Amino acid sequence: SWERPVRGTSELRPRLAHRTLTEAELLGVTGRGALSAPGRALLEHRDPAQPLAPLLPEPLDHVLLQADLTAVAPGPLRRPLADTLGVLADVESKGGATVYRFTPGSVRRALDAGRSASDLHAFLAEHSRTPVPQPLAYLIDDVARRHGHLRVGAASAYVRCDDDAVLNEILADKRAAGLRLRRLAPTVLAAQADPAGLLEGLRAMGFAPAAESAEGDVLITRADAHRTPPRSAPEPVPDGPPTPDATLLAAAVRAIRAGDLASTTPRKPSGAATATTGGELPRTTPAETLATMQAAVLTGESLWIGYVNAEGSASQRVIAPVRVEGGFVTAYDHTADEVRTYPLHRITGVAELADDQI
C-alpha cells in the first residue's frame, strides 16, 4: 500500500518522498541531500551519539555574572547547574547565549526551595567566572533577611486562655496527643482537630471549655437543640436471596397448608350467590356479606372469602369471624395463622364451609 496507494494521483508519491526527506534533514539523518554520519549509524544499528559528539558544544559548568543583576551562560549548561540556576533566576533571553535575570521573586523562590543565603553565595562564587557583583549579594541578603518573618499554616481549631499555666497543663497531658496541639503564643494553642472534637477532647480531660465565634463571642447552644446524626453507610445487599430461617420456613408451611385448605374445602351451596364455574368463589352483595359474617360470629363457623388488598391483589382466605363492627370484621385467618382485621368493602364474596370441615 505504501508503494502503490489505492487512492490519489500520480503526484502523491513524489510529495510523500519530498516530505520524508525534509523531515529526515530536520532530524539530522540527512544533510544537504546526503546521508549524515548519525543517519548512517542508525542504518547500521550503531549508537549515533559518537558521531554527534564532535558536532555538539561541550556543556559548561560556569556563567558570567554582571553588575545589572544578570548572568550570561555562553553555551549549554550542565544539568545540575541549569536546574539550580533556573530556580535562582528567570530566563530573560535565549540564543547562542542564555541570559538569566535575578529578581527578588526568583531569589525568594530559591529560599522557598530550601536554600539559605550562604548556600546561594557559595553557589554563585563557585560557578561564576567573574566576581559576584555587590548588587547581587545585597539582593540575596536583603531577601533572606525578610524571608520567613511571616509564617502561614493550617489549623482546624485553636485554644486560647489568659492563664498560660493551664495551657502548659494541657500540653503536658498525654491524653491531648490525639488533638495535635501546638503553641502559637503564650496564650494560644493551635489544633489539627475540628472544633467539636477539640471541645469533646478537652472536656474528657476534665476541663470546661466554651466555644467561641470567629469574632470572639461565646457561642450559646440550646439544650433542646437536635441535629440530624450523620448518615451511616447502607448495609451491602447480598447477591442472592437471604437464607431462610426457622421462622420464615414455618410461616411458608402455614401459608401453603392454608392455601390448600382454602382451595379444597367443600362449600355449602348458596342460592343467593352468583354461580361461577371452575370452583371459583361466588360474588355476594355487601348486605349478604355482612349478614353472613354476623351469623358466623354467632355460630362460630369458618367462612371462605375473597379479598382484594390496597394494591389491588386478589386472594382467597379461610377465616373464623370473631367480631363485626364499624365496617370491619375481626377474624382468625387460617391462611396467615393469626388474628387480622379486614374492611368489609374489600371482601368480594363469602361462602360457608361444609359442616364436616374446619
pLDDT tens digits for range 40-61: 888 888 888 888 888 778 889 9
Dist. CA 65–CA 130, nearest whole Å: 6
Looking at residue 137, its pLDDT comes to 94
Dist. CA 245–CA 249, nearest whole Å: 6
> Under 8 Å CB-to-CB from 252, ≥6 apart: which residues?
244
Looking at residue 284, its pLDDT comes to 85
pLDDT tens digits for range 207-254: 888 888 888 788 776 666 666 766 777 777 666 666 777 776 776 676
306 pLDDT higher than 90: no
Asked if residue 37 lies in contact with residue 94, where contact means CB atoms within 8 angstroms, the answer is: no
Strand 90-93 relative to strand 157-160: parallel, antiparallel, unpaired? unpaired
Residue 71, CA distances (Å) to 89, 96, 111, 120, 155 in order: 9, 14, 19, 14, 42
pLDDT tens digits for range 282-296: 688 888 888 888 888
Q: What's CA 319's distance to the chain center, in Å?
A: 55
Cell of 286: 355487601
pTM, to two decimals: 0.46
Looking at residue 193, its pLDDT comes to 87
Strand 303-308 relative to strand 347-352: parallel, antiparallel, unpaired? antiparallel
In the beta sheet, which residues pair with residue 308?
A: 314
Contacts from 319-322 at CB under 8 Å and sequence distance 24+? 320/296, 320/358, 321/293, 321/296, 321/297, 322/297
168 pLDDT higher than 60: yes
Give the residue from 185, 342, 204 showing the smallest Cα distance to 193: 204
120 pLDDT higher than 90: yes
278 pLDDT higher than 80: no
pLDDT tens digits for range 255-266: 676 666 656 655
Looking at residue 358, its pLDDT comes to 47
pLDDT tens digits for range 170-208: 989 888 888 889 898 889 999 988 888 888 999 898 888
Residue 340, CA distances (Å) to 22, 289, 325 in order: 94, 17, 14
- pLDDT average, residue stretch 12-34: 87
Domain segments of the chain: what residues?
A: 12-55, 64-146, 157-204, 248-352
Other beta carbons less than 10 A from residue 270's beta carbon? 16
pLDDT tens digits for range 329-338: 998 888 777 8
Looking at residue 299, its pLDDT comes to 87
Candidate CATH numbers 1.10.8.60, 2.60.120.380, 2.40.110.10, 2.30.30.100; the one for domain 248-352? 2.30.30.100
The residue that leads in pLDDT, 299 or 141, is 141
270 pLDDT higher than 60: no
pLDDT tens digits for range 70-105: 999 998 999 999 999 999 999 999 888 899 999 999
Give the residue from 225, 219, 159 showing the smallest Cα distance to 194: 159
- pLDDT average, residue stretch 155-172: 89
126 pLDDT higher than 90: yes
Residue with cell 377474624: 331
Looking at residue 132, its pLDDT comes to 94
In the beta sheet, which residues pair with residue 68?
A: none
Dist. CA 2–CA 7, nearest whole Å: 11
